[in-house]
Chain A
């Protein structure tokens, strides 16, 4: 594929991510932090995020299956998820986390379950989006082109 076309595609794709609210300026900041010292910084952080989030989501699912639900613990988990998602700029996940925390505080099991599903969904979405973006970047760098900022 044409390199220029690929680059344009990447830019478009990234813009669409911003437009659709998957990412916010925090992600941009993240990208800015990437330089020759840390060439794979964004990928590294994002994969950290994936690991962390998956762990947290598993914990949350488990916690919600319990007979007696430890809302305090869940709240702490959601808080963490919120923190990490806001750090990489996955703002849709972050917003859901805010709602999720409210449900936790209200000890609303149904709301929590609903929210967990939504968070999972959003997380999966953002994950695929980011992964495909990284794929594109990979393609570009494989093709020898520079990644447009």
Chain B
């Protein structure tokens, strides 16, 4: 039963689940729906309540959903769960109740039935026994009577004719003996009487109460023997007289009673005369009128129970007349006794009545006879003194009246007698002359009492048990549904989460789509800005200052573009799809550029930006330069944001035991990094092992600022997305909190770590290490000029104390004596000290103002002869607000013979000042900030100049020699410029040569300006593997550098030949994009045809594009075959393969077994057969030949996923539309070179 109910519960639960979760699998829906509808039929209100939300959820609005889901969903599920529970409980209750009732009912019915049958049997049996006894009594009585009659007949016949008195007496004596014998043999007999015809009576009588036996006889004297003779004659006539009345009325007769010994029959007393009323019943001839035996019930005064008397006539020998009447009387007492015994055992009441209703025997002790004046009389059962018998008899009388059912058989199971229930059964015993009715009354309680009691108890137990089960079931259901509903809720949540995730994914998909579109939209205006700037830079009417400014704008724009690209790249970083490129780059120079860029920002903040790289850092490392720069750019910009005064130092050193031992001598604060190293040793240990094997180096960097600092508790969390140390910073400083997150992701990607380190003093110290590999040949260090040899000394007159300190330490390490001055007065003191002392040999007047250590330094310098002094002067030392600076300049000019001045300019240094400086012959001008590379260059320039000086020196040095002019221009532009004129430039350009694909990375492209000028026609041989964004950046960088390179080129031209070529001029002014073109037109025709001799197949469906691309390529000298779709392309290729002869005719130079085309440009989206399909087909057909024709995809989709798709089908490279001329050429070249090589 329990199982069944659980089954139903689970079903119901499922259905409720489906209701509250309509998003569940729909195929499951329909069967469950049916169940549900059935249930909701039971509870109609519920169905109405819950159905609408279900439908609503099905047809919901995506926007509405979020809002409504919360409330409606919750409510409906609450209702449904509640109602489901209720329904289950009700059903369970009904089930259990039904079962209980049924069980009880059946058990009771069966018990009652069996009990009833049993009880019936019992009752029957009970009644049967007294009846049987009665029957016995009757039988024995009749037997005795019959025996008596037979004996009497025999005796009388023997003495048939008594002739005399003696014979008569003898006869009577004989009769008396016989009768005694019979009487004695039956103890139960009450009396035996013999009434002779002549009126003589002989009788034996037993008085049961007194236990006496008597012989009663009438007086013989009154009877004559003669009489007897006449008796026969008058038998018929005098029958009337021979009756009871005669006997009783026979007053003349005297009755005697003689007590007898009950056993022997001897006379034990004298016979006494007794009054007639004391007589017992003596059967007379009246009782046998028709001569047959008769029965009747009589009463006697000696017994209180009715007597059964039988009478039989004794016929004479001729059998014609009755000679005597024999009567036998038996007491019914024994029947009553039996009944009493029975009742004692079985309880209840039994009585026997005659057909008329006279009581014959009862099981009670109440008297059966009425004592009237006339003597005892029989009593009706309805008048019995016993209450139960009386009521039973009355009940029977009332119910049946006189119309008893045939046979008087009645079975009544529930008779209400005086407020109690009884069984009443009656039986009929049909005796001749004496029909008897037996009635048994048994209290119902006796038989069914226990049963009913038990049944009641069972019922109570059953009910309580079922209530218990119900309660437990309800609890179980509650628990079960609770669990199920919880699970359902969880599942619903899961589903909604999945849904949300799917939507989020979709939206992020939209986002990336959007970004892809936006990237195009954003880059276009930026490209325009950069292009316009390039045009402006090309304009030669700009002053140098303007030029510098424009260059700065140009750089910033490039940075902005790079930033844009980086932002677009962010999703890639976040999703971990970012692939770092592996290319060689000059780490130092990247960082210098970065510091240059940020110093512009810092100057306004009064913050000093210092770059402090130790000498052991390898010049060239392999890695992703853009990402490395991004890391530091983010870190520095972050520092700048929070630093209002002080400095920002970017420190770098290398953890490489072999190198650090000899050249790791320079670091501003050596203890700190070393100790840090030690603390990190554990960490870096395994890294070291790796690094040795792979030629990898661990490069440590620190970004140290004096800003507001970060709370130690936030040191970890600042690297999380959208996390800022202080929420209020967004208000004051702006920013999204993404910067550091990107930094950490990138650093981790490069095998490094970043964390915030405790710092002495104010500010934040971020320390990170990167795992970068150096090129295989790369450990040979950059050339070190032995400055000590050249005997130079440097006076650093700079504002920023940190930069000055670091620089002076570095210089001292490299054997260059340095002096420091932080302000104008100090500088003048030093100068006076140095030179006045030397010239006049007495500097005592100024001694006081110099501090002791400085003075000692000065003196040691004085001791050294022939020193070349270089004074690096910060323009900020001069008082620029007034006109004093001119005087200060004049003052300095006095020393110009002995020292070289290098000026540190600000970005906003006015043109007038520059002009003035130039006029004074100060040609070494460097933009702030000062770092090693710039210092190195100053030193080199001075040293060179000092060599040149003796031969060729003009006092007004403005562009005195082209070389000088050159270098001065370079210095003024920025750090990237002096690379071009530095000594190692030429080797690199030589090395670059024709193919720089593998060995040189981005850097080489910087020199393209020069390469183009002098070298063979190598255009950008970009690695095709570059990511698209990387390409974009590189491309822009090359543009930038070209722009930077350009003016120099023109300047020299301008210097050399006053009239520039008329054809060149407009070309130079034209757009950025055509620079290559303009270059090529400048050069000889042979040089411009970079694609000379290449056979290209162009598959492009758009006629416009087809035409444009064809012309482009043909201009570069390539042979182009254009087709309209992919199918044609495949066909064209196969045709060429088949038509070998044709091909050889046309291209005799080609070797026969090489592919017909050097390269295929394939549009991706084409009718008939798109680019992907075509590529697949081509690649398949190539399997036979073993060729590999490079295929370049052309697509208008700017997504990287398209790129992957392209590469997957077997394309080699990827170009986006609109076609970028240069990029296309470089891609084609790299692919064709590679393929011909391979």
- CB distance B1104 to A32 under 8 Å? no
- CB distance A33 to B1196 under 8 Å? no
Q: How far does the alpha carbon of A29 sit from the alpha carbon of B294 in the complex, in Å? A: 159
Chain A: minimal CB distance from B518 (Å)? 11
- B1167 contacts the other chain (CB 8 A): yes
- CB distance A86 to B1115 under 8 Å? no
Chain A: minimal CB distance from B1174 (Å)? 16
Q: How far does the alpha carbon of A88 sit from the alpha carbon of B1111 in the complex, in Å? A: 13
Residues of B close to A95: CB separation below 8 A: 521
- CB distance B1074 to A87 under 8 Å? no
Of the listed stretches A2-10, A60-68, A77-85, A125-133, chain B binds: A77-85
Chain A: minimal CB distance from B1039 (Å)? 13
- B549 contacts the other chain (CB 8 A): no
For B524, B528, B1107, B1217, the residue with the greatest tally of chain A CB atoms inside 10 Å of its CB is: B1107
- CB distance B531 to A84 under 8 Å? no
Given contacts A33-B1115, A76-B1167, contact A83 B1105 (CB under 8 A): yes
- CB distance A48 to B1070 under 8 Å? no
- A38 contacts the other chain (CB 8 A): yes
- B1073 contacts the other chain (CB 8 A): yes
Return the chain A residue nearest B1066 by Cβ.
A149
- A54 contacts the other chain (CB 8 A): no
Given contacts A25-B1071, A28-B1071, contact A86 B1165 (CB under 8 A): no
- CB distance A83 to B1070 under 8 Å? no
Return the chain A residue nearest B1081 by Cβ.
A35
- B1144 contacts the other chain (CB 8 A): no
Chain B residues numbered 1113-1143 whose CB sits less than 8 Å from any CB in chain A: 1115
Q: How far does the alpha carbon of A49 sit from the alpha carbon of B1105 in the complex, in Å? A: 9
- Over the window 148-180 of chain B, the binary record of Cβ atoms lying under 8 Å from chain A Cβ atoms (1 yes, 0 no) is 000000000000000000000000000000000
Residues of B close to A35: CB separation below 8 A: 1115
Chain B: minimal CB distance from A75 (Å)? 9
Q: How far does the alpha carbon of A103 sit from the alpha carbon of B252 in the complex, in Å? A: 154
Q: How far does the alpha carbon of A28 sit from the alpha carbon of B1071 in the complex, in Å? A: 8
Chain B: minimal CB distance from A126 (Å)? 13
Chain A: minimal CB distance from B967 (Å)? 35
Q: How far does the alpha carbon of A29 sit from the alpha carbon of B1107 in the complex, in Å? A: 13
- CB distance B1102 to A52 under 8 Å? yes
Residues of B close to A30: CB separation below 8 A: 1108
- CB distance A33 to B1071 under 8 Å? no
- CB distance A87 to B1105 under 8 Å? yes
Q: How far does the alpha carbon of A58 sit from the alpha carbon of B1105 in the complex, in Å? A: 20
Residues of B close to A41: CB separation below 8 A: 1111
- CB distance A25 to B531 under 8 Å? yes
- A143 contacts the other chain (CB 8 A): no
Return the chain A residue nearest B1100 by Cβ.
A83
- B527 contacts the other chain (CB 8 A): yes
- A15 contacts the other chain (CB 8 A): no
- B1052 contacts the other chain (CB 8 A): no
- CB distance B1165 to A44 under 8 Å? no
Return the chain A residue nearest B521 by Cβ.
A95
Return the chain A residue nearest B1077 by Cβ.
A32
Chain B: minimal CB distance from A78 (Å)? 11
- CB distance A149 to B1104 under 8 Å? no
Residues of B close to A87: CB separation below 8 A: 1102, 1104-1105, 1108, 1217-1219
- A117 contacts the other chain (CB 8 A): no
- A69 contacts the other chain (CB 8 A): no
Residues of A close to B1221: CB separation below 8 A: 29
- B842 contacts the other chain (CB 8 A): no
Residues of A close to B1107: CB separation below 8 A: 44-45, 48
Chain A: minimal CB distance from B1116 (Å)? 11
- Over the window 126-149 of chain A, the binary record of Cβ atoms lying under 8 Å from chain B Cβ atoms (1 yes, 0 no) is 000000000000000000000001
- Over the window 200-232 of chain B, the binary record of Cβ atoms lying under 8 Å from chain A Cβ atoms (1 yes, 0 no) is 000000000000000000000000000000000
Residues of A close to B528: CB separation below 8 A: 25
Q: How far does the alpha carbon of A95 sit from the alpha carbon of B524 in the complex, in Å? A: 12
- A122 contacts the other chain (CB 8 A): no
Chain A residues numbered 33-54 whose CB sits less than 8 Å from any CB in chain B: 33, 35, 38, 41, 44-45, 48-49, 51-52
Residues of B close to A118: CB separation below 8 A: none
Given contacts A24-B524, A25-B528, A86-B1217, contact A80 B1070 (CB under 8 A): no
Return the chain B residue nearest A46 by Cβ.
B1104
Q: How far does the alpha carbon of A76 sit from the alpha carbon of B1104 in the complex, in Å? A: 16
Task: Count A-side interface residues using an 8 Å CB cutoff.
Answer: 31
- Over the window 1040-1076 of chain B, the binary record of Cβ atoms lying under 8 Å from chain A Cβ atoms (1 yes, 0 no) is 0000000000000000000000000010001101100
- B1103 contacts the other chain (CB 8 A): yes
- CB distance A25 to B527 under 8 Å? yes
Main secondary structure, interface of B, reads: helix
Given contacts A38-B1111, A83-B1196, A84-B1102, contact A98 B1071 (CB under 8 A): no
Q: How far does the alpha carbon of A89 sit from the alpha carbon of B1217 in the complex, in Å? A: 11
Residues of A close to B1101: CB separation below 8 A: 80
Q: How far does the alpha carbon of A118 sit from the alpha carbon of B206 in the complex, in Å? A: 148
- B1200 contacts the other chain (CB 8 A): no
- B849 contacts the other chain (CB 8 A): no
Chain B residues numbered 796-837 whose CB sits less than 8 Å from any CB in chain A: none
Chain B: minimal CB distance from A87 (Å)? 4
Q: How far does the alpha carbon of A99 sit from the alpha carbon of B1103 in the complex, in Å? A: 22
Q: How far does the alpha carbon of A19 sit from the alpha carbon of B543 in the complex, in Å? A: 27
Residues of B close to A29: CB separation below 8 A: 1073-1074, 1221
Return the chain B residue nearest A83 by Cβ.
B1102
Residues of A close to B1102: CB separation below 8 A: 52, 80, 83-84, 87
Return the chain B residue nearest A89 by Cβ.
B1218
Return the chain A residue nearest B1108 by Cβ.
A87
Chain B: minimal CB distance from A76 (Å)? 7
For B527, B1070, B1111, the residue with the greatest tally of chain A CB atoms inside 10 Å of its CB is: B1111
Of the candidates B1073, B1105, B1111, which one forms a contact with A84 in the assembled complex, judged by CB atoms under 8 Å apart?
A: B1105
Of the candidates A45, A76, A79, A86, which one forms a contact with B1218 in the assembled complex, judged by CB atoms under 8 Å apart?
A: A86
- CB distance A84 to B1103 under 8 Å? yes
Residues of B close to A98: CB separation below 8 A: 517
- B878 contacts the other chain (CB 8 A): no
Chain A: minimal CB distance from B1072 (Å)? 8
Q: How far does the alpha carbon of A41 sit from the alpha carbon of B1196 in the complex, in Å? A: 23
Residues of A close to B1167: CB separation below 8 A: 76
- CB distance B1104 to A88 under 8 Å? yes
Of the candidates A33, A79, A84, which one forms a contact with B1104 in the assembled complex, judged by CB atoms under 8 Å apart?
A: A84
Q: How far does the alpha carbon of A98 sit from the alpha carbon of B1165 in the complex, in Å? A: 15
- CB distance A76 to B1112 under 8 Å? no
Residues of A close to B524: CB separation below 8 A: 24, 91
- Over the window 1078-1115 of chain B, the binary record of Cβ atoms lying under 8 Å from chain A Cβ atoms (1 yes, 0 no) is 00000000000000000000000111110110011001
- Over the window 1144-1182 of chain B, the binary record of Cβ atoms lying under 8 Å from chain A Cβ atoms (1 yes, 0 no) is 000000000000000000010101000000000000000
Q: How far does the alpha carbon of A98 sit from the alpha carbon of B524 in the complex, in Å? A: 15
Chain B: minimal CB distance from A48 (Å)? 5
Return the chain A residue nearest B1163 by Cβ.
A83
Residues of A close to B1163: CB separation below 8 A: 83
Chain A: minimal CB distance from B529 (Å)? 12
Given contacts A44-B1107, A149-B1066, contact A79 B1217 (CB under 8 A): no
User: Closest 8 interchain pairs by CB?
Assistant: A84-B1104, A87-B1105, A84-B1102, A49-B1104, A83-B1102, A86-B1218, A32-B1074, A48-B1103
Given contacts A28-B1074, A76-B1167, 13 further A-B contacts (CB under 8 A): A28-B1071, A33-B1111, A35-B1115, A38-B1111, A45-B1107, A49-B1104, A83-B1104, A83-B1163, A84-B1103, A87-B1104, A87-B1217, A87-B1218, A95-B521
List residues of A whose CB falls within 8 A of some B CB: 24-26, 28-30, 32-33, 35, 38, 41, 44-45, 48-49, 51-52, 76, 79-80, 82-84, 86-89, 91, 95, 98, 149
9 contacts between A and B (CB under 8 A): A28-B1070, A32-B1077, A38-B1111, A45-B1108, A80-B1102, A82-B1196, A84-B1104, A87-B1108, A87-B1219
List residues of B whose CB falls within 8 A of some A CB: 517, 521, 524, 527-528, 531, 1066, 1070-1071, 1073-1074, 1077, 1101-1105, 1107-1108, 1111-1112, 1115, 1163, 1165, 1167, 1196, 1217-1219, 1221
